[in-house]
Amino acid sequence: MAIDNTIGIARHISYKVLCDVHMKGAYSNLSIQKHFLVLKKPEDKALATAIIFGTLKRNIQLTRAIEKLSSIAYDRIKPEITVIIKSALFQLFYMDKLPAYAVVNDSVNLAKFYISKKSGAFVNAVLRSALRMGKQALIEGSDTGSFCAELEKKYDIPCWLCDYLKEEFSEEFLEKWGEAYQRSPKMYIRVNLLKTQAKEAFAELNQQKSVCKETVLPDVFEVTDAGEILASKLFLEDKIAIQDMSSALCAYVLDVKAQDTVLDLCAAPGGKSLHIASLTAGKSVITASDKHKHKVDRMKTQFKMQGIDNIRVCKNDAEMFRPAWEEVFDCVLADVPCSGLGVIHRKPEILLHLDESKISDLIAVQKNILYNAAKYVKSKGTLVYSTCSINPLENGQVITAFLAKHKNFTLSEISLPVAITKKEGKIFPGEINKYPQDSLGDGFYICKMKKK
């Protein structure tokens, strides 16, 4: 579809991404990859990114604002209209440097262009009313008295989720977690040691100006200039790849040796398998599996493009026991499906669909996958269980239940190449718990076990 050039391109693209997320259940990162191809200017990418993530991270408050402003019941308004109004309200009340007239004008024209003239008039009326009422009346309001209601108002953490997590965490912890949710996520890159050395890559990337800085992991850098990194020769030649710190830590915890046989269950998109291959100089024998054919095909293409020949990719449902794999592998990684509560700052759309029953269903899946994974480990072999959740019910409590039924497994000491923090050191007694408010930026859980 052509676009209306009188409307800022960043607002066109943010509208399309938000419609994908709200109306099609799309992942924000994948929709951004698809739609951002037309954005050539860094400032347009920055504005679209701010609108998309800001609107998603303030969804509860923006929804309530529309309910106050509209004479039509919220659930009777077309979802694409609510997308336009929410993004406009976010720009008006949370992005102070944007002129109100430009926000209103573009939003009205978006509604006219994508929906109808009548919709444009409705958007105009709602936004004019919002400007008259102001942020204090619409969003901030008065104190509610309840801690969870206040947390929802300040950080958009749903009340039900706050109540759920209060069983495990203090109010002080949840306050810091909510604050971390509203921060911009850090971006990390991993060096492909099969193609270059970490020190050489770091020097080349920072040759003209500083675009990344070192982290506690020798082959992982924190990005300070994403545009320069993504346009760099190293990135285009697959010598570096985007990978979260929590994901990169898994390979170090697994501690694979050359010639080890490795199973990466739930492997897609394949970053952990690639990292294991990188750390072992391509000398380990890796099986990367996933239950979805399109993800398996994508991994096969990715590995082939990078010239990786020690990773076998196959379709496999990790919830189903595979007899042919029984006691075959030296190392098994079970990076299981989870609630994603450790990465909501990176994937805020998680909170649009999550509820307590879905978490319960996920815990059942996690236990099933872990119990199958245990059967694939050789005697004296290693089993690593990981999630990107902060929820103890998905983490330590799953392991406690597992160890109670599997006396042939014990927690194994985790020894990292360097200390994660000065306080913690580099030795962990079997488990690592990290939270978004910590220095690494993501919340995750990793547990290492040894088979007798």
pLDDT bin (cut points 50, 70, 90) of residue 96 is confident
Longest alpha-carbon distance in the chain: 70
Distance CA 360, CA 168 (A): 15
| Full-model pTM | 0.93
What are the structural domain ranges in the chain? 9-141, 145-181, 188-242, 245-451
The string of pLDDT tens digits covering residues 435-447 is 999 876 689 999 9
- The two three-digit tokens of residue 194, written as one number: 């099969």
Q: Could you count the other beta carbons within 10 Å of the beta carbon of residue 348?
A: 23
The string of pLDDT tens digits covering residues 332-379 is 999 999 999 999 999 999 999 999 999 999 999 999 999 999 999 999
* Domain 188-242 in the same topology as domain 9-141: no
Distance CA 401, CA 350 (A): 27
- CATH (residue range 245-451): 3.40.50.150
CATH class of residue range 188-242: alpha beta
The string of pLDDT tens digits covering residues 283-315 is 999 999 999 999 999 999 999 888 898 999 999
pLDDT value of position 143: 67
Identify any residues that bridge with 261 across adjacent strands, giving them in sequence order: 285
pLDDT value of position 422: 53
Distance CA 398, CA 400 (A): 6
Mean pLDDT along residues 327-335: 98
How much is the mean pLDDT over the chain?
A: 94
The DSSP 8-state label assigned to residue 425 in this structure reads B
Lowest-confidence range among 80-94, 294-308, 315-329? 294-308
pLDDT over 70 at 237, yes or no: yes
Q: Where are the alpha helices (DSSP H) in 191-318?
A: 198-205, 226-230, 233-236, 245-254, 271-279, 293-305
pLDDT over 80 at 15, yes or no: yes
Tokens 């924190």, residue located: 222
Q: 3.30.565.10, 1.10.3720.10, 1.10.10.60, 1.10.940.10: which CATH number matches 9-141?
A: 1.10.940.10
pLDDT bin (cut points 50, 70, 90) of residue 424 is low
pLDDT over 60 at 187, yes or no: yes
In this structure, which amino acid lies at residue 414?
I
Distance CA 340, CA 117 (A): 40
* Closest alpha carbon to 55 in 17, 99, 105: 17
The string of pLDDT tens digits covering residues 374-421 is 999 999 999 999 999 999 999 999 999 999 999 999 999 998 876 665
In this structure, which amino acid lies at residue 39?
L
Helix (H, G, I), strand (E, B) or coil at 222: strand
pLDDT value of position 43: 93
